[in-house]
Structure 1
Amino acid sequence: MGKKLLIFIFLHISYSASSQLDGSVLSFYSEMDKFHQIQNQRIVNGVEYRDLYRTINNKHSFLKGRDFQKALLFYNDQLFPEISIRYDFFRDIVVAKIQIENGQVYIIQLINDLLENFTVGQQKFINVTFDNKVFENGFYEILAKSDCASLLKKRRFRPLEKRDKSYMYYEFEEIDTQRIINISGNYIKASKKELIEMFPKNKGEIKEFYKKNRSLRKLNEDKFYQELTIILSKISCS
């Protein structure tokens, strides 16, 4: 039950989608059928990946570039420690690249509802579903976490259509960054106004933090809100 088995387990695509897939993917089913006899094999669903936005430079919407990155992920209630993935901020999807024993490579778009979290390097992302429509559901990077508070971040991009003499391509522009603070299960925007409304007794302390750390906020917003989250954690845990 080693690394090779994990790869085979990870690859299976649901037969219910077979009518929509081309011959190369159907042949993939045949390859996977050879391994159905493995005990306790978990069938993990995915869909055929299609790259909808051709890019030709570094103005893309992928985490750490267009190359696939080694990741640890928790998918369909199972941990997979070394899977090559690419996360697309704009489409909010994770794509896996798998090479099977005969050398064939398959590119699979994972199903978001089955992907609980994934980690690339030091960056961990979790799948969050909110009870209201104030915030966008999807994958958020965890910037800080304690027993009482955590800081989540989502980067948002938009595609810009470009043309040259021979073809069309896209460049992606980052339009904003959403930071959300989770305090004991309550999600609020990382803003001074909303924090003061939640902690009116600590209004002076919060205002003082913003005043003293203006330069840090301009230079490194992530660091600014990480330090703020530590303060809020102490307040909410006390």
Structure 2
Amino acid sequence: MKNSKKTILLLCLFGLLLNIPSIHSQSIKETEIFNWFDKNAGIESLDIKNGPAHLNFDRTIGNQHRYYGADEFKKGSINYNGQDYFDVYLKYDIFADQLILRPYDLQNTTKIELIKANITHFKIGDENFVKLKDLNNSSFKGGYYNETIIKNNQALYIKYYKEKKKNIKEELDLIDYKPRYEFILWKDSKFNLINEKKEIIALFPESKRNINDFYLMNRSLRKENPPLFMKNLMKYINN
């Protein structure tokens, strides 16, 4: 019902704009109209504001944190409950696999944990994330994955997550977060786990020599940045 009301109001708004002579000849992007409506209607009236407050009382070692990338909100977009929202500020808690929203009002310090069941996909900066479910292998972690399209019938999905352990340091009980990754390749109409080199070779037996060479030439990248290593490897194999 809320989405239908929003659609009706947007159609009315668009009709009014078309009837204003000074604006009639201008091209109005759909994204800009939705942004105008969302900001003027207020976050309280939108489906996206539903969810509990996000609280984080972590005391960590150094500058460690539980989030994807940096511990800060970045501009992005989201499909929530069938509705697209643009230019919203998001942060992804990869420890809890939870997407966090900061309301438009910068003076509002409340952070909202968005309801996962209502999220189809989202974007933070230039990175696309999709929610994978009903995977053909029950050993997959599931949840949100970073998506990189390799070609028409192949896509690489990277699951970012963190494991934590307590670390006693100077009589303080601190959290030590360790980044972890799960790599999945959509190929041959199914999801394939590719955490190990042998799993990749099994999918690309004709490229075994190239795969071995790539591993040999990029050992430091694999250690320092496993996601970038895997993205580059998939491009290398398919060139």
Q: Same fold (TM over 0.5)?
A: yes
- CA deviation after TM superposition for structure 1 residue 187, in Å: 1.0
Partner of 1:5: 37
The answer for unaligned runs of 5 or more in structure 2 is 1-9, 11-32
How do 1:73-112 and structure 2 match up within 5 A? Answer: 73-100=78-105, 103-112=107-116
TM-score by length of 1: 0.70
Q: TM-score, length-normalised on structure 2? A: 0.70
Contact 1:48 1:108 in 2 (8 A): yes
Q: Choose which of 130, 139, 155 in structure 2 pairs with 1:134.
A: 139
Give the distance between the partners of 2:229 and 2:181, measured in 1 at CA.
14
Provide the residue aligned with 1:209 in structure 2. 210
Matched, 1:47 2:52: yes
Matches of 1:77 and 1:214 in 2, distance apart? 42
Identity fraction in percent: 19
The AA in structure 1 aligned to 2:83 is: Q
Q: Tell which deviates more after alignment, 81-90 or 140-149.
A: 140-149
Does 1:58 pair with 2:90?
no
- Cα deviation for residue 110 of structure 1 reads 0.6
- Distance in 2 (CA, whole Å) between partners of 1:223 and 1:104 is 36
Q: Distance in 1 between matches of 2:67 and 2:193?
A: 24
Query: What CA distance in whole angstroms lies between the structure 2 residues aligned with 1:4 and 1:166?
Result: 51
- Cα deviation, residue 99, structure 1: 4.0
Find the counterpart in structure 2 of residue 149 from structure 1.
154
Report the aligned-residue RMSD. 3.0
Task: Verify the 8 A CA contact 1:49 1:108 in the aligned structure 2.
Answer: yes
Work out the number of aligned pairs and report it: 200
Cα distance in 2 for partners of 1:168, 1:223 equals 33
| Contact 1:161–1:168 (8 Å) recurs in 2 | yes
Q: How big is the shift at 1:7?
A: 4.3
Distance 1:179 1:46 in 2: 29
Deviations 1:86-106 (A, max 9, x none): 1111111111111449x4342
Check the 8 A contact 1:139/1:154 in 2, yes or no: yes
- Note the alpha carbon deviations across 1:165-223, whole angstroms, 9 max, x for none: 7864423122x321111114311122443344445xxx2x3211122212344133444
2:119 paired with 1:115? yes
Distance apart, 1:132 and its partner CA:
3.1
Higher mean Cα deviation, 208-217 or 2-11? Answer: 2-11
| Structure 1: runs of 5 or more not aligned | 12-31, 36-41
Separation in 1 of the partners of 2:66 and 2:181? 13
8 Å contact kept, 1:140–1:153 = yes
